[in-house]
Amino acid sequence: MIIQIIGLPGSGKTTLAAALAERINAVHLNADYVRATINSDLGFMPEDRVEHARRLGEMAKMLSGQGLDVVVDFICPTAATRAAFGNSDICIWMDTITEGRFEDTNKLWEIPTKFDYHFMSYDSKGQTDLIIVESGLHDWKAPTTLLLGRYQPWHEGHQALWGVASERTSQVMVAVRDTHGTSEKDPLAFPEVARRIRQELPTAFVIKMPNITNIVYGRDVGYKIEQVDLGADIHAISATQKRKEAGL
């Protein structure tokens, strides 16, 4: 997931980006920081701005390709810079001011024609809430029910458990233990496990976890651990048999 936030300097891009990145546990790429470090060889001529946008786009795609959500905030003033950055999953235009603090950027600025959100006033919390809800993003601050397992493979028993978990909280995280290759019972790597889960649950909140073998806790502080009885038929489902049937 790549989220791009564009707008004139001082329009609130960075503040919104920081708030949104924290809520969805994303990497935040700030163009000013990138320009001062990795892209310090570039100036502010039109061709340098295009190259700056291209490099930012490639960084975002590289991180997204590793399974990370990425929020990128930068001016991106022209159609050429927006094309150089490439496609984003969500584009947000912060249209909160008519002029920024840099006259050359004001002269270059072209009104965007493609965007998903157009904010003409500034409210980072309200706007973050809106984006998360409307875009179906996973909110790391929201109450969440955790399902922890190997899921080798995901089957109807897990699906039934997910259904019960979703009755506890509206957000359910499926945490996949990284057991691939540790035994003949673990033939699937995490990307394949996640793919199979999302075949059944397209918007599932799936994350990779270490090979968790023990859970230790002290006092109950804001959470509880619950065993759910799904009935004899569900409990009788054999992952070993499922693997055999699937040729795994």
* Residue reference for tokens 């990370």: 68
Positive or negative, the CA dihedral 158, 159, 164, 165 is: positive
* Residue reference for tokens 């008519």: 98
Asked if 119 and 125 count as a contact pair (C-beta separation under 8 A), the reply is no
Give per-residue pLDDT as tens, 23-43: 999 999 999 999 999 999 999
Asked if 82 and 112 count as a contact pair (C-beta separation under 8 A), the reply is yes
Q: Angle, nearest 10°, between helix axes 124-135 and 13-24?
A: 50
In this prediction the pTM is: 0.89
Give per-residue pLDDT as tens, 115-133: 999 999 989 999 999 999 9
The structure tokens listed for 75 are: 């001016």
Q: What is the mean predicted confidence (pLDDT) over 205-225? A: 88
Reported confidence tier of residue 233, pLDDT bands at 50, 70, 90 = confident
Among 105, 130, 110, smallest CA distance to 31 is for 105
